[in-house]
Structure 1
């Protein structure tokens, strides 16, 4: 008989009158707010203006949500488009299913658009928000706890996660991979903040370090998961994705440090709030010259 385990909530939805409050969506929203708030503090500390991170997030967040959902639906299409499944479920984002790889990729496109509109270098912006993003991931993983999803192999460790029996799942005690990844993300946040302060990282290297460190943890956590997933050469697709992203991130770190050492100076252009005044004409200049006093002699 197991004496200790992590219980799962009986439901992932709380009803406030007719309004359903879904735990998964709530965790995602909190994560976004934390990422924008902390990213804004870091941006100001590096010489940027208050409000810039939030303005660019208006572009990055919607792009990221769409990208995350697209990656999930494409890589797990059998959950929505095989016989017996309802393809409409592909749009039910509140039931879970956001791929971080797609979220970061398409979110970067949105951030690039926002940065371009403000005349800001994307690598500098990415460095400022990287710790906030990984903290948001740590918070967002608790949404999987509410949905009782993405758990690992059966186990009898004291911190095992209790999963209740339901459609397409067996009840029992499993590795709480959501918790493992949440703790790993918090550790990554601490490491990249320390490295940024210690080595004055710039030109996108904080973001690259985040990507590399996150992929290390994600790869081994994937091996513990037992949910359905595509396999390539007997290995889960997300493991291959983590390996590829890790290699690209490390290459970027090395090359960037050689080509553009140090940290860039963030120069955020001033916004023009007033119309430019016309240049004064010769007639205007003549009108401003005081006339000589009349001769009273």
Structure 2
């Protein structure tokens, strides 16, 4: 009786005229677009501006691709620099071979540069991107299906993947570890979205949760794989990497929750100019001084005796006779006003130091 299985594509590339469309690259591109789209929606919900996620992704994605390839080439150098190997193959990224650990590490460097240019905290941006990255990985793993690579041990389960004869592989049905990891990543994305809504994760904790949850799944999935890998104390290198990164992510979650609870109040600074610029200036204490012309006495006003013009002209103030109008002659009052005007100090606007004190 024939067993059910998942068929593998006969080829991983389709030629559109002279242009090759490779399934591996196509899966990665779809994943990137979905991650940016979802990250943009989450960023706006946190108070950020539309388009910021894409602007920073322009830095993060190329760095991530280079980092992912470097990790793969370094940890599997025998595939490219061993006897009978061609080192030029190390640059053929379309043939598969991206290490998620290197992609995340170097991609974070690119994201940090983009965030610095925009004045944005990297942890807040990473929190917005976290579930989208997991979904991007879910799409990217189907690239391994196109290339018939990274499968698990032989099995006759109904959902086994059919692998055809090829270089360094035998025909047969195997555990579809690409499918297991794809489904696990979708579960991680759902977990992060739920936990973020439930606990208002901030300051990089949503991203740390994604890392920790992914590493848990990667341990048992990696253990099932049969492709060549370096062993340390009997365990594959990526198993040890998953364990170490998982512990680091958990430590960050715990310490961050104690040191910086809650979520960022502001994830993106307000642009200068307009209402936003005015508000920012007000927050920094750069408001324009209020018009205090009504509170600043002119020299002429300073010369006037208390009671206004009534003191100089003999007119009555507030309906009462002036006590000095008859005692002081008009000429003497005018002379006194001239002296007061000359000797009176220049009034300074409120809160402003004399010119000699400015440094």
Task: Give the TM-score of the pair, scaled to structure 1.
Answer: 0.91
Secondary structure of the 1:168 match is coil
Residues 121, 267 of structure 2: 8 Å contact kept:
no
Aligned position for 1:185: 185
For residues 184 and 157 of structure 2, the distance between their equivalents in structure 1, rounded to whole angstroms, comes to 19
- 1:169–1:273 distance in 2 versus 1, CA, 3 Å: farther
Structure possessing the higher radius of gyration over alpha carbons: 2
Counting only pairs closer than 5 Å after superposition, residues 57-68 of structure 1 correspond to structure 2 as 57-68=57-68
Counting only pairs closer than 5 Å after superposition, residues 79-158 of structure 1 correspond to structure 2 as 79-158=79-158
For residues 197 and 43 of structure 2, the distance between their equivalents in structure 1, rounded to whole angstroms, comes to 14
For residues 133 and 259 of structure 2, the distance between their equivalents in structure 1, rounded to whole angstroms, comes to 26
4+ long deviations beyond 2 Å: 269-274
For residues 81 and 218 of structure 1, the distance between their equivalents in structure 2, rounded to whole angstroms, comes to 27
Q: Over aligned residue pairs, what C-alpha RMSD do you find? A: 1.2
Counting only pairs closer than 5 Å after superposition, residues 1-297 of structure 1 correspond to structure 2 as 1-272=1-272
Secondary structure of the 2:49 match is coil
Secondary structure of the 2:15 match is strand
What count of residue pairs does the alignment treat as equivalent? 275
Aligned position for 1:294: none
Bigger RCO of structures 1 and 2 (CA < 8 A, at least 6 apart): 1
Residues 124, 266 of structure 1: 8 Å contact kept:
no
- Measured after TM superposition, the shift of residue 2 of structure 1 is 3.5
Secondary structure of the 1:270 match is coil
Secondary structure of the 1:262 match is coil
Residues 2, 156 of structure 1: 8 Å contact kept:
no
Q: Could you give the per-residue CA deviations for residues 49-100 of structure 1, whole angstroms, max 9, x where no partner exists? A: 0000000001000000000000000000000000011100000000000000
- Measured after TM superposition, the shift of residue 273 of structure 1 is 7.8
- 1:273–1:139 distance in 2 versus 1, CA, 3 Å: farther
Secondary structure of the 2:21 match is strand
Task: Give the TM-score of the pair, scaled to structure 2.
Answer: 0.75
- Measured after TM superposition, the shift of residue 234 of structure 1 is 1.0
For residues 58 and 272 of structure 2, the distance between their equivalents in structure 1, rounded to whole angstroms, comes to 21
Secondary structure of the 1:228 match is coil
Secondary structure of the 1:31 match is helix
- Measured after TM superposition, the shift of residue 272 of structure 1 is 4.9
- 1:110–1:273 distance in 2 versus 1, CA, 3 Å: farther
For residues 95 and 132 of structure 1, the distance between their equivalents in structure 2, rounded to whole angstroms, comes to 24
- Measured after TM superposition, the shift of residue 269 of structure 1 is 2.2
Residues 46, 267 of structure 2: 8 Å contact kept:
no
Residues 3, 156 of structure 2: 8 Å contact kept:
no
- Measured after TM superposition, the shift of residue 268 of structure 1 is 1.6
Aligned position for 2:316: none
- Measured after TM superposition, the shift of residue 267 of structure 1 is 3.9
Residues 162, 173 of structure 1: 8 Å contact kept:
yes
Residues 216, 246 of structure 1: 8 Å contact kept:
yes
- Structure 2's unaligned 5+ residue stretches are 278-359
For residues 79 and 2 of structure 1, the distance between their equivalents in structure 2, rounded to whole angstroms, comes to 36
